[in-house]
Amino acid sequence: MTARKTAIVTGSTSGIGLAIARALAAEGCNIVVNSFSDTESDHAIAKEIAADHEVEAVYMQADMSKPAECRSLVAKAAERFGSVDVLVNNAGIQYVAPVEDFPMEKWDAIIAINLSSAFHTIAAAIPFMKKQGKGRIVNIASVHGLVASPFKSAYVSAKHGILGLTKTVALELATFGITCNAICPGYVLTPLVEGQIPDQMKAHKMDRETVVREVMLEKQPTKEFVTVGQISAAAVFLCSDAAAQINGTHLSIDGGWTAA
């Protein structure tokens, strides 16, 4: 029997991360589901993934705003499953405010969760991947890793940063059978996006429908939200053998937003 691969997906109790966890499980990976909380429903998600896909899946609490917890998540996963083959850095939060009013603690939290956590998990995963001579790192960046939008100074800064981290890690690990790439989604309809709507309504003084049409999908040429399934399919591809020579780059899934 060939050993199953182990995939850690940070921030995988919801939205894009959950879809990626499910898709990697469908490919036969054992899964580490993660978030900062520790509720019955967190553990139920892992149980459901395990049952649906006949793999092992465990929920591991770790707060991605805390460097030590980022690193111990990887260590615990390796201890539990014996290897770390796939690392998907997905955990992320958003906050929307004009730069001069942007709360300092929100800036710090966004940089910690959306950028620094990936540095810590990658650093912790590299020794395991090097030992195996194989590994896949996928960072969930954003269209905001490539272009900016107003009122999102911390998010745009973190996402531009994660593309720099992606390229640097790719160069450092290129001869070890390990690839590091990023996915840059446009607007995907997830709880994170739902949560932005009230802030955007306030910032732009618009009603919900107008914010969705004129602010969110205004820049997405297809005028359709990206689906979580489209993102998870790309993540599965980047983790496949077929993607072995795709390294240090990003895949935009944004309906053409960054073509403009």
Write out the residues near ligand NAD by the rule CB under 6 A. 10-17, 34-36, 63-65, 90-93, 113-114, 140, 142, 185, 187-188, 190-193
Complex with ligand NAD: residue 96 or 113, whichever CB lies closer: 113
Of 217, 144, 153, nearest in space to 185 by CA: 144
CA–CA distance, 225 with 14 (Å, rounded to integer): 17
Q: Which tokens hold the place of 211?
A: 């914010």
Write down the least CB distance from residue 22 to ligand NAD, Å. Answer: 13
Which lies closer to ligand NAD via its Cβ, residue 62 or residue 173? 62
Give least dist CB 91 to ligand NAD, A: 4
Q: Is the dihedral of CA 126, 84, 178, 15 positive or negative?
A: negative
CB of 82 to ligand NAD, least distance (A): 24
Alpha carbons 178 and 156: distance in angstroms, whole number: 27
Looking at beta carbons only, is 52 or 194 nearer to ligand NAD? 194
> Cα-flanking dihedrals φ and ψ of residue 59, to 5°?
-90, 130
- Our CB check for ligand NAD shows the closer of 193 and 246 to be 193
> Which residues belong to the active site?
155
